[in-house]
């Protein structure tokens, strides 16, 4: 391992720029002649639009234009799309209502886009927006995921009777029913997977810019996948032909999924830029982010686990209602289906699994992928079931897991997936040791002496990452392939630009991708620049989400580098005057058994460009290669997290005393960055478990629309994490990488709730387990009663 | 934010005349409530009178049996003042648990007290310590100063100059923070000054900060946590929201009061 190669904890190259304020985020960019957009948003969750009077707004100082849904329709701007077709049990296609960029006839959640006001300055745009007079015929709202399908509920889209988008299922129902009928013990739980609001530090923003000379449009936007945005905006929404549209996602300050999607705001900014003949900028404020960024999770689930007399799990079944919000966001349909149910086997050998999912509309913000996307929901179901089952049958939860672990690979689950590699017991053993499980009883007794309740909870999670084999997802309804591309451009001086279709918005790609390149080409990391986020620079790419950029994005770079090395060896052969097949390349040096002369990588690069040592007939000049990588399988990161909590039953406050995470991510490129990803993921998972919850009232008003009420995790809410790794390299990519970006968020909620319920001595606690919820639960705690 | 006139006077007298000159003028102290409200266009004062350059509003002094703190003294200054620590150490603790460090660097004692947010920390301390609020016009005792949610005895052209705290024999403040906002979900201050025992509760009461007379009576005869064991707090008088209903807040008043008495020694 070199100091900057694979496996080295290289400090992040991008951080100097970020921490000295030199980052260039969308809002830092200003275009000559730029005007400002402000959206008029619905204050009602559900209402007919009776009329929009913009006359006073248009007279407001600096106002350039006010556009409504009627203008969008007149210009034939296409609706926003949902790119994954889900089929119901009966084979019918999902029932999707139209999703216009500006509302037409009806609004369907608080924050829905009613009109856009464009003015010379932001203040003037806000002034004018206040003068847009909208007449609403307010309708009752259907807000609750559990009841929105009931008879008599308000109907949100005419296309979707009973607010039901699909009734989907996966697995063998008959086999599961038979297994349950013969089971010795059945554990049943009801769960709510609470609704979350992503809260990236940087709010969403967009600048649309029209060049009448070339009839082309440029969009600067906060995107995790600029090429997908360009494809959707051109091919589906019809804003501009793909070759006349450039999408730039510059520095992006966090995404967590919420910046995957193609939203109304960027669509409108692009369209309006051409209409007003001026660049149009919109930067969301924090309230808009709460109201109109796609939210995450929001499931209610009943789940059951069947266990035989020997303590082996024989079947699992789950019935989930998933809230999709007022409209279907870009990938909303896939999250509670194919990103969820295929993970219900967890780390366990379960012969039969059946899952039903109803995807439903409500008068709330659209719900889509958020860090983990479906897999945290699945892990919560499996790991709560397993924990409760172990307690009910009187087995140690760790040993019950161990008994049911999958032990041979590849392993085909009854829910599509084939796990390729793993060693679950290795993670468990290491985690038990690091968590000092043996000392827990002593610590618990000490807590009890101080009037505190201590509990320990496990989460043995699995995730399917590195999404994904294009043919596989295509067969499941995806509208796109999920490969990745890379191009490696070697300059004549031997420095290298790596162009990638992945997008870094906090992940540290500028460092890790350079580490891979540094190691393989034997050049200093300072000689490498990673280029991403601009459709004019990078030919195409699928972007960053689903923990895919290491496994898929870096694999594309790996193969592009392979091609560079092949070509460079040919050049070296000519220069060294030896047969090409005798040229060896190692640690940046070209050598040959046929000569004692050697060449460095920069020397060969220069020769490739000056082209003096070979003719055009023998070899093309230059040194630049590209590759597309389509994986053959998902990757399956796994691990065991152990959370230890101490509850103050008098106040209901929960302190996380210990956190042990042992993860198997396969090969690590930069252990420090991986550890950081684990830390951030756990923080978000703890946020879900203890702190965060989006709350709408019965009228569909978002009660948690600011940090006064929506509680983000802070450093003080978290312990110092004990993080360790095991490794079973992934066999389906050349580097053996599995992906680490979502693991913590997937593992953490179940670990926390299992620890809480262990401390409380009963299972009645829902997320977020706020002090109020924990205090109420503690009143019913047999542990507390015993202590008193 | 709407347009407004900005004034930065050097003296209390100038500030008062600027404040009186417009019925829609507002004083700016730390600005932690006013500025966000203006940015959200929920407040639209025609003029802002910034008190940051008024030297006579600053400073911390021990004057005999009283601790005197200028209205524009920041939370951070109070939290870290040796003078405060030697006089009323618990007041350093009150200031030190307000918001976060950024808030404490800007927020002021006068601004907090004048705003009388029902979940602010200072009102509980001011009421429990029976401080006197000195304005440009008069002196107002703590009991007369706080008049309910966001309401005080101050008139429209009145400016708080300083607060004077009688140095107590015992004092402590215990806060249970709202997990999201970090304001007090419940905060209880207890003080014993001479024969006077006072218990003040913030964050919980539906009419803002209040004195808990039943607890005061129980503690007057027996200054101990046990003395509060059977003192009830009415849930119906409490605020109720998603973070805590009346029953929870009422329960916490009891828990925190006992802990405060224990902490006060």
CATH number at residue B2: 3.30.43.10
Q: What per-residue confidence (pLDDT) applies to A761?
A: 97
B245–A772 CB contact, under 8 Å: yes
Is the complex ipTM higher than 0.90? yes
Residue B104 in any domain: the answer is no
Of all residues in chain A, the one with the smallest CA distance to B254 is A650
Residue B113 lies in a domain: no
CA-derived radius of gyration, chain B: 18
Give domain status of residue B92, yes or no. no
As a whole number of angstroms, the distance between CA A326 and CA A367 comes to: 9
Inter-chain touch B248–A130, beta carbons under 8 Å: no
Structure tokens at B186: 């419940």
Does B42 touch chain A if contact means CB atoms closer than 8 Å?
no
Test B180 with A652 for CB contact under 8 angstroms. Answer: no
Q: Are strands B196-202 and A63-68 parallel, antiparallel or unpaired?
A: unpaired
A537: domain range? Answer: 483-629
| Domain endpoint, select from B41, B56, B71 | B56
Per DSSP, the three-state class of A645 is: strand
Q: Compute the average pLDDT of residues A402-430.
A: 97
A697 touches chain B (CB under 8 A): no
Q: For residue A66, is pLDDT > 80? A: yes
- The pLDDT value recorded for residue A1 is 54
For A569-589, how does the pLDDT look when each residue is reduced to its tens digit (9 = 90+)?
Answer: 999 999 999 999 999 999 999
Q: Indicate the pairing of strand A299-307 with strand A216-221.
A: unpaired
pLDDT class of A788 with cuts at 50, 70, 90? low
Instruction: Label residues A633-643 b or e (16+ Cβ within 10 Å = b).
Output: bbbbbbbbbbb
Q: What is the pLDDT of residues B13-42, one digit of tens each?
A: 999 999 998 889 999 999 999 999 999 999
Residue-level pLDDT at A782: 85
**Statement: residue A293 has pLDDT above 60:** yes
Q: How far is A651 from chain B (nearest CA, A)?
A: 7
Q: What's A333's DSSP letter?
A: T
Beta bridge partners of A459: A641
Output the CA–CA distances (angstroms, integers) from residue A288 to A111, A115, A135, B113, in the order listed. 7, 14, 21, 32
Nearest to A99 by CA among A297, A279, A333: A333
Is residue B262 less than 8 Å (CB to CB) from chain A? Answer: no
Whether residue B157 lies inside any domain: the answer is: no
Phi, psi of A493, rounded to the nearest 5 degrees = -85, 0
Query: Containing domain of residue B210, as a range?
Result: 170-264
A598 in the same domain as A546: yes
Residue A389 CA to residue A381 CA, distance in Å, equals 12
Task: Tell me: do A660 and A543 sit in the same domain.
Answer: no
Last residue of a domain, one of A589, A607, A629: A629
Task: Say if CB A61 and CB A127 are below 8 A apart.
Answer: yes
Q: Is A130 on the interface with B (CB under 8 A)?
A: yes
Read off the tokens for B122. Answer: 């200072």
- The predicted-structure confidence for A147-192, as pLDDT tens digits, reads as follows 999 999 999 999 999 999 999 999 999 999 999 999 999 999 999 9
B residues 138-177 lying closer than 8 A (beta carbon) to A? 176
Angle at CA A713, nearest 5°, toward A673 and A507? 20
Q: Which of B149, B221, B214, B223 is nearest to B191 (CA)?
A: B223
**Does a structural domain hold residue B1?**
yes
**Residue where a domain terminates, one of B36, B56, B76:** B56
DSSP assignment of A452-484 equals -EEEEEEEEEE--BS---HHHHHHTTBSS---E
Q: What is the pLDDT of residues A671-685, one digit of tens each?
A: 999 999 999 999 999
**What is the reported pTM?**
0.97
Q: How far is A709 from chain B (nearest CA, A)?
A: 5
Query: pLDDT tens across A521-541, in order?
Result: 999 999 999 999 999 999 999
Total domains in the fold of chain A: 2
Domain membership flag for residue B106: no
**B242 contacts chain A (CB < 8 A):** yes
Partnered with residue A321 across adjacent β-strands are: A300, A358
C-alpha distance from residue A425 to each of A174, A379, A760, B76, B260 (Å):
31, 17, 28, 51, 48
| Last residue in a domain, options A629, A661, A691 | A629
Shared domain for A743 and A644, answered yes or no, is yes
CB atoms A650 and B243 under 8 Å = no
Burial of A130 (0-12, 13-18, 19+ CB in 10 A): middle
CATH number at residue B242: 3.30.390.50
Put simply, whether A701 touches B (Cβ < 8 Å) is no
Q: Do A707 and B245 touch (CB under 8 A)?
A: no
> CA-CA distance, A656 to A691, in Å (whole number)?
13
Q: Do A771 and B179 touch (CB under 8 A)?
A: yes
pLDDT at A493 over 90: yes
CB-CB neighbours of A583 under 10 Å = 25
pLDDT tens sequence across A342-391 = 999 999 999 999 999 999 999 999 999 999 999 999 999 999 999 999 99
Opening angle at CA B167, ends B161 and B169, nearest 5: 155
DSSP A705-725: -STTTS----GGGS---EEEE
Intervals of chain B under pLDDT 50: none
Q: Has residue B136 been placed in a domain?
A: no
3-class secondary structure, A605:
helix
Q: Which residues from B are below 8 Å from A287, CB to CB?
A: 40
Are A526 and A566 contained in the same domain? Answer: yes
Question: For A475-514, b where at least 16 C-beta lie within 10 A, e where not — what string?
Answer: ebbbbbbbbbbbbbbbbeebbbbbbbbbbbbbbbbbbbbb
| B258 belongs to a structural domain | yes
Q: Does residue A125 lie within any of the structural domains? A: no
Contacts of B244 in chain A (CB under 8 A): 771-772
Provide the pLDDT for residue A379: 98
The answer on A449 and A538 residing in a single domain is: no
| Domain of residue A517, CATH code | 3.30.365.10
If you count them, how many residues does chain B have?
265
Q: Is the model's pLDDT at A785 over the cut of 70? A: no
Of A629, A645, A668, the residue that ends a domain is: A629
pLDDT reported for residue A783: 74
Mean predicted lDDT score pLDDT of chain A = 97
> A772, A778, A779, A784: which to substitute to probe chain B, counting the most B Cβ within 10 Å?
A772
Identify whether residues A647 and A621 lie together within a single domain. Answer: no
Tally of structural domains, chain B = 2
Q: Nearest CA of chain B to the CA of A729: how many Å?
A: 41
* Whole-angstrom distance, CA of residue B15 vs CA of residue B4: 16
What is the mean predicted confidence (pLDDT) over A767-773? 98
Length of chain A: 788
Whether A596 maps to a domain, the answer reads yes
With cut-offs at 50, 70 and 90, classify the pLDDT of residue A2. confident
B185/A contact by beta carbon, under 8 A: yes
Is A286 an 8 Å CB contact of chain B? no
Query: In this complex, do B176 and A651 lie within 8 Å of one another by their Cβ atoms?
Result: yes
> What percent of chain A lies above the pLDDT cut of 90?
98
């Amino acid at each position: 391992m070199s100091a900057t190669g694979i496996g080295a904890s290289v400090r992040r190259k991008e951080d100097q720029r970020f921490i000295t304020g030199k980052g260039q985020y969308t809002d830092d960019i200003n275009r000559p002649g730029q005007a400002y957009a402000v959206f008029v948003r619905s204050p009602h969750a559900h209402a007919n639009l009776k009329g929009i009077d913009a006359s006073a707004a248009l007279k407001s100082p600096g106002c350039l234009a006010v556009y409504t849904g009627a203008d969008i329709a007149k210009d034939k701007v296409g609706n926003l799309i949902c790119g994954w077709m889900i089929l119901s049990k009966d084979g019918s296609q999902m029932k999707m209502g139209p999703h216009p960029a500006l509302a037409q006839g009806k609004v369907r959640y608080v924050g829905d886009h009613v009109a856009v006001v464009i003015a010379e300055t932001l203040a003037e745009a806000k002034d004018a927006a206040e003068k847009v007079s909208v007449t609403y015929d307010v309708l009752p709202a259907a807000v609750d995921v559990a009841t929105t399908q009931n008879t008599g509920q308000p109907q949100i889209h005419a296309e979707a009777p009973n607010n039901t988008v699909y009734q989907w299922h996966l697995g063998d129902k008959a086999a599961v029913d038979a297994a349950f009928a013969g089971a010795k013990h059945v554990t049943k739980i009801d769960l709510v997977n609470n609704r979350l609001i992503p809260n990236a530090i940087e709010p969403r923003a967009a600048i649309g810019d029209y060049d009448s000379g070339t009839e082309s449009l440029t969009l600067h936007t906060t995107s995790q996948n600029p090429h997908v945005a360009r494809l959707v905006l051109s091919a589906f929404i019809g804003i501009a032909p793909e070759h006349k549209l450039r999408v730039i996602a510059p520095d992006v300050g966090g995404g967590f999924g919420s910046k995957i999607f193609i939203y109304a705001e960027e669509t409108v900014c692009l369209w309006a830029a051409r209409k007003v003949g001026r660049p149009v900028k919109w930067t969301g404020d924090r309230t808009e982010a709460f109201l109109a960024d796609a939210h995450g999770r929001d499931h209610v689930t009943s789940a059951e686990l069947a266990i035989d007399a020997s303590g082996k799990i024989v079947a699992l079944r789950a019935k989930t209602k998933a809230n999709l919000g007022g409209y279907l966001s870009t990938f909303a349909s896939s999250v509670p289906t194919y990103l969820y149910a295929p993970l219900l086997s967890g780390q366990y050998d379960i012969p039969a699994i059946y899952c039903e999912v109803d995807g439903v509309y409500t008068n709330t913000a659209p719900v889509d992928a958020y860090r983990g996307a479906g897999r945290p929901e699945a892990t919560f179901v499996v790991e709560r079931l397993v924990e409760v089952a172990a307690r009910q049958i009187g087995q140690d939860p760790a040993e019950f897991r161990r008994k049911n672990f999958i032990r041979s690979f590849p392993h085909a689950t009854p829910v599509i997936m084939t796990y390729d590699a793993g060693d679950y017991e290795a993670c468990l053993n290491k985690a038990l040791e690091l968590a000092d499980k043996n000392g827990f009883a002593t610590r618990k007794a000490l807590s009890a002496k101080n009037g505190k309740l201590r509990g320990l909870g496990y989460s043995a999670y699995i995730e399917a990452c590195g999404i994904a084999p294009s043919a596989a997802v295509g067969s499941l309804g995806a509208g796109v392939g999920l490969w990745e591309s890379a191009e490696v451009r070697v300059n004549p001086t031997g420095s290298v630009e790596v162009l990638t279709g992945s997008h870094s918005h906090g992940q540290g790609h500028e460092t890790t991708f350079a580490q891979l390149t540094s190691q393989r080409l034997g050049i200093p990391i300072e000689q490498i620049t990673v280029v991403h986020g601009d459709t004019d620079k990078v030919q195409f790419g699928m972007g960053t989400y689903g923990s895919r950029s290491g496994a898929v994005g870096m694999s594309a770079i790996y193969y592009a580098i392979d091609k560079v090395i092949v070509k460079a060896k040919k050049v070296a052969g000519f220069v060294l005057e030896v047969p090409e097949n005798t040229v060896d390349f190692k640690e940046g040096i070209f050598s040959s058994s046929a000569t004692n002369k050697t060449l460095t990588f920069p020397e060969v690069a220069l020769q490739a460009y000056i082209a003096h040592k070979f003719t055009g007939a023998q070899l093309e000049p230059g040194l630049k290669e590209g590759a597309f990588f389509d994986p053959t399988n998902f990757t399956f990161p796994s691990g065991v997290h152990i959370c230890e909590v101490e509850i103050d039953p008098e106040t209901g406050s929960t302190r996380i005393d210990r956190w042990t995470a042992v993860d198997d991510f396969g090969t690590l490129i930069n252990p420090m960055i991986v550890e950081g990803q684990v830390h951030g993921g756990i923080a978000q998972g703890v946020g879900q478990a203890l702190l965060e919850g989006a709350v709408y009232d019965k009228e569909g008003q978002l009660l948690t629309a600011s940090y006064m009420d929506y509680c983000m995790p802070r450093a003080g809410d978290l312990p110092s994490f004990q993080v360790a790794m095991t490794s079973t390299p992934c066999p389906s990519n050349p580097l053996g990488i599995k992906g680490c970006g979502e693991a913590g968020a997937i593992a953490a909620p179940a670990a926390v709730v299992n620890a809480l319920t262990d401390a409380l001595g009963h299972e009645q606690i829902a997320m977020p387990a706020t002090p109020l919820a924990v205090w109420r639960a503690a009143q019913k705690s047999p542990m507390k009663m015993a202590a008193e | 934010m709407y347009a407004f006139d900005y004034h930065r006077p050097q003296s209390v007298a100038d500030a008062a005349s600027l404040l009186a000159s417009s019925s829609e003028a507002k004083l700016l102290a730390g600005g932690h409530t006013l500025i966000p409200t203006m940015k959200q266009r929920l407040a639209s004062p025609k003029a802002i009178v910034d008190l940051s350059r008024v030297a006579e509003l600053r400073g911390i002094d021990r004057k005999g049996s009283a601790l005197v703190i200028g209205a524009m003294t920041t939370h951070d200054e109070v939290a870290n003042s040796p003078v405060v620590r030697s006089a009323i150490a618990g007041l350093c603790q009150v200031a030190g648990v307000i918001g976060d460090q950024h808030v404490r660097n800007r927020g002021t004692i006068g601004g907090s007290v004048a705003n009388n947010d029902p979940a602010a920390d200072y009102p509980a301390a001011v009421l429990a310590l029976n401080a006197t609020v000195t304005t440009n016009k008069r002196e107002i005792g703590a009991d007369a100063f706080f008049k309910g949610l966001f309401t005080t005895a101050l008139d429209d052209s009145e400016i708080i100059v300083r607060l004077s705290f009688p140095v107590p024999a015992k004092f402590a403040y215990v806060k249970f923070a709202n997990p999201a906002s970090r304001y007090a979900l419940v905060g209880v201050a207890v003080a014993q000054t001479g024969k006077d025992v006072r218990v003040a509760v913030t964050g919980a009461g539906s009419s803002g900060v209040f004195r808990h007379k039943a607890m005061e009576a129980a503690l007057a005869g027996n200054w101990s946590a046990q003395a509060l064991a059977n003192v009830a707090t009415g849930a119906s008088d409490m605020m109720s929201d998603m973070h805590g209903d009346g029953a929870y807040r009422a329960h916490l008043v009891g828990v925190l009061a006992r802990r405060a008495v224990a902490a006060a020694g």
